[in-house]
Amino acid sequence: MLTRWDALLELMERVVGGAGDRDAEIGVGRLRELIDRMDAETCWP
């Protein structure tokens, strides 16, 4: 199965946001920041 990071993170944000788990929300936010930073540093053809 293939998906984009963005789509996966959006799903994760909805799930943890609905559950009210603040620690999980922070973790998903940090993961999004890491992936965004990695994408910005990667040179795609």
CA separation for the pair 39, 45 (Å, rounded): 13
Instruction: Flag whether pLDDT at 6 surpasses 90.
Output: no
- Banded model confidence at residue 43, pLDDT cuts 50, 70, 90: low
What is the predicted pLDDT for the residue at 12?
Answer: 93
Q: Which of 3, 11, 9, 14 is nearest to 32 (CA)?
A: 9
Query: With pLDDT > 70 as the criterion, what percentage of the chain qualifies?
Result: 89
Type of residue at 18: G
Average pLDDT score, the chain? 87
Q: Report pLDDT for 32.
A: 93
